[in-house]
Structure 1
């Protein structure tokens, strides 16, 4: 069998096996990437690449290795939920780097971070005065969590004892020119109703709509394809 064909076949096997194993590991590998997840991801990718192009490697043995590296994070993730000690060993703990406006330099040194790194992360959260910070912690995934001092936190309606209305998720009714009939049905709405609402802005063709969403207040957001305008159409009036 030609070498190129062997590489193609092994690459296809590697890709689909890797896809299945990543599904088994779950979305946490991408959503909350810890140092352990980073190492596992690189190793699994390296093994998959070996399976694809290293023709002198035993396919079965490589697949077994790939399976073990996939099974281990799944088991550790399960055990981490059940056992606090294992969770701390595998994932680590959040590290406090600012407390009551004071930078904890020793904690920063343990994380191999400079004060400039800390200030940069704070600025990315629109915090330019470190004296406004009550607590700042580096999470196990490398992200910075910040709690502002109480006098620096923004006011909320509950602070002012103001009544608010429920604001749920909008429902997508049209996406890329296609009417989502199941979404209309879930709201007990007909396609004729949708046509009537769009006609208020002289929109006659669903295929010209990039996105249409109905929010919980009865406002229909309509984004047209191309460089055309978007519309917000009140439907309760």
Structure 2
């Protein structure tokens, strides 16, 4: 009897080892397919998806009461759906806003947008905590604070409160604003043009000044109405001597 129990436990252990290896390398392969968005742009939904995929992989390894194949298929389904959501949010801007949400202005010119942070279910204590993490101890020092879709707070200090500030040097300072997207993925956003009191003719002139004949050549164009700065990023950047962050040669 003891020998039989020992053999059964050994068989169970071997099954767990094999299923664990399958789950481990499946998870490794699927996370590589999903890319870095799961980490670098982790929204609450991405977080839940990641936990669920990990839970399925764990069940695939240790649940010996059911066959491994259904769990593995579930792992594939969740991975494919997550990848599909990524592709949809990249391709369709409206879908991206609906699925991933939008950044929200929490502080403007030193004033806290109370109605906005309440709508986002963000407490004042949470806001102050994140400000302190940015080295800001008073909202009065902030020009803009934007609550990102992953819950992080991006802070733009007022010009006189920047490190090595013009105020310390007795220099006049100019206001800085929030960049407004005018072109994204080759598409002009006319509503944003109106928001910054500009028209299509002005935009075409700016594009021509940068040697661009059509907006389809532009990946991103943003404009700061306060400073008048206009930034354009083309699809073909023509960058020479591109820095390679990889540890491996391109062709190995």
Deviations 1:164-208 (A, max 9, x none): xxxxx9x9xxxxxxxx9x9xxxxxxxxxxxxxxxxxxxxxxxxxx
Deviations 1:59-102 (A, max 9, x none): 11211110111111211111111111110111101111111111
Distance 1:156 1:25 in 2: 42
- Superposed displacement of residue 53, structure 1: 0.6
Aligned match for 1:21, one of 26, 30, 34: 30
Counterpart residue number, 1:71: 80
The yes-or-no answer on 1:109 pairing with 2:118 is yes
Aligned match for 2:145, one of 136, 142, 153: 136
Q: Is the 2:159–2:165 contact (alpha carbons within 8 Å) kept by the matching residues of 1?
A: no
- Superposed displacement of residue 152, structure 1: 2.4
Distance 2:81 2:156 in 1: 35
Q: C-alpha root-mean-square deviation of aligned residues, in Å? A: 2.7
Aligned match for 2:94, one of 68, 71, 85: 85
- Unaligned runs of 5+ residues in structure 2 are 1-7, 172-242
Which ranges of 4 or more aligned residues in structure 1 deviate by more than 4 Å?
A: none
- Superposed displacement of residue 111, structure 1: 2.5
Deviations 1:83-129 (A, max 9, x none): 11110111101111111111112222222222111111111111112
Distance 1:59 1:95 in 2: 44
- Superposed displacement of residue 153, structure 1: 2.6
Deviations 1:40-71 (A, max 9, x none): 10110110011001112221121111011111
Three-state SS of the structure 1 residue aligned to 2:135 is coil
- Superposed displacement of residue 23, structure 1: 0.6
- Unaligned runs of 5+ residues in structure 1 are 161-168, 172-179, 183-237
The yes-or-no answer on 1:49 pairing with 2:58 is yes
Distance 1:152 1:54 in 2: 57
Distance 1:72 1:36 in 2: 12
The yes-or-no answer on 1:118 pairing with 2:124 is no
Three-state SS of the structure 2 residue aligned to 1:23 is helix
Map 1:1-237 → 2, pairs under 5 A: 2-155=11-164
Distance 2:69 2:91 in 1: 33
Counterpart residue number, 1:202: none
Distance 1:57 1:95 in 2: 46
- Superposed displacement of residue 156, structure 1: 8.3
